[in-house]
């Protein structure tokens, strides 16, 4: 008889939800986002972040629509940090047994809210508000995880 493998107790529903939502957020960065026109048509955030040298029309798009002070670096910093926070969230959800893994999804949420509300370049993307949904849900699960932790300590 084989014994059924038990799931570790620290793998909670909020933790697994944060891991899944971080993957969703990472995936959103690879979907078409900006309509730059020309041959490229629509570019994803990852196209601009990782492959900007293949899309010179992106730089023209940003400077024409948002002024000469806009640089590609000012556009890509927030998405890179959000991407990194989501990767860290995914990894820590499985590795870290304490509730302090929630710092990473909280950072992803803050970066998303601040970045997308302060950068007009990010607001120019199609469906930019859909990027709020996964990180907002992650924030809800982070609060749920903390409340569950405090409730367990009281018992």
pLDDT tens string 117-153: 888 888 888 888 888 899 999 999 888 887 776 665 5
Does residue 38 sit within a domain?
A: yes
Please check whether residue 84 lies inside any domain of the structure. Answer: yes
Whether 101 maps to a domain, the answer reads yes
How many domains are contained in the chain? 1
6 is a domain residue:
no
- Residue 119 falls inside a structural domain: yes
pLDDT reported for residue 150: 60
Closest by CA position to 56, among listed 67, 65, 70, 43: 43
Q: Is 7 a domain residue? A: no
pTM here is 0.82
The token pair at 8 is: 């570790």
Please, is 124 exposed, middle or buried when counting C-beta atoms within 10 Å of its C-beta (0-12, 13-18, 19+)? middle
Task: Give CA separation, 152 vs 11, 34, 40, 124, 146, in Å.
Answer: 15, 46, 53, 44, 10
pLDDT value of residue 4: 59
- Range of the structural domain that residue 124 is part of: 15-147
> Has residue 4 been placed in a domain?
no
Q: Is residue 5 part of a domain?
A: no
Asked whether residue 74 carries a pLDDT value surpassing 80, the answer given is no
């Amino acid at each position: 008889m084989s014994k059924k493998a038990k799931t570790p107790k620290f793998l909670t529903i909020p933790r697994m939800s944060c891991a899944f939502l971080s993957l969703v957020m990472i995936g959103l960065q690879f979907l078409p986002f900006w309509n730059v026109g020309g041959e490229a048509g629509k570019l994803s955030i990852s196209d601009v972040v990782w492959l900007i040298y293949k899309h010179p029309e992106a730089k023209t798009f940003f400077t024409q629509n948002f002024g000469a002070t806009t640089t590609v670096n000012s556009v890509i910093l927030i998405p890179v940090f959000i991407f990194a926070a989501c990767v860290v969230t995914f990894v820590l959800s499985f590795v870290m047994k304490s509730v302090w893994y929630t710092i990473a999804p909280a950072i992803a949420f803050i970066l998303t809210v601040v970045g997308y509300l302060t950068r007009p370049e990010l607001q120019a993307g199609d469906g930019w508000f859909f990027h709020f949904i996964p990180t907002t849900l992650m924030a809800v699960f982070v609060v749920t995880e903390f409340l569950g932790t405090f409730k367990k300590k009281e018992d």
